[in-house]
Amino acid sequence: MPSSATPSQAIITQTLKACGLRITPQRYAVYANLLGRCDHPTAEQILQALNQAAPTSSQATVYSSLQALRDVGLVREVRLDAGICRYDANMELHHHYQCQNCGHIEDVPWAYFVVVQQQPLREGLSLGGYEVIIQGTHCDHCDDYEV
């Protein structure tokens, strides 16, 4: 779960091993980076953060690491904008708020909404889950955002 306190190296390593992933420096770095964030970054933003001090990761490596982490259920893709895939290491059930003014995204606890009655859909469709995306026009981060 993303927070200001990233889990220790040992915990991250144990988690990757428990999911059957081979531990590579790049995979570890991508997962550790996501665990320390709550801004739902794109792959490009993760790459930029990892290469901030010195270029060590490639775009292909970041994408393959994200795919491996997603495939074992350690991260999920969040698609709030058409054609833009963001990543989230918070695997607890939650919704998302997105400010249409400044682009800020944040998690909204699942309990903020009354449980949606999961009525059967039309024949041929099955319901696997749902997520609410709240779109707002202003947030407390807008004051830091320059148009």
- pLDDT per position as a tens digit, 91-133: 999 999 999 999 899 999 988 887 666 677 788 888 777 788 8
What residue spans define the domains of the chain?
A: 9-88, 94-144
CA distances from residue 17 to 34, 36, 69, 78, 88 in whole angstroms, order as listed: 17, 19, 11, 24, 20
Q: Which CATH class is domain 9-88?
A: mainly alpha
pLDDT digits (tens, 9 = 90+) for 17-67: 999 999 999 999 999 999 999 999 999 999 999 999 778 889 999 999 999
List own/partner pairs for 100-104 with CB under 8 A and 24 or more apart. Answer: 100/135, 100/136, 100/137, 101/136, 101/137, 101/138, 101/139, 101/142, 101/145, 102/139, 102/141, 102/142, 102/144, 102/145, 103/145, 104/139, 104/141, 104/142, 104/145
In the chain, beta strands by DSSP E: 76-81, 84-88, 94-99, 105-109, 133-136
pTM: 0.82
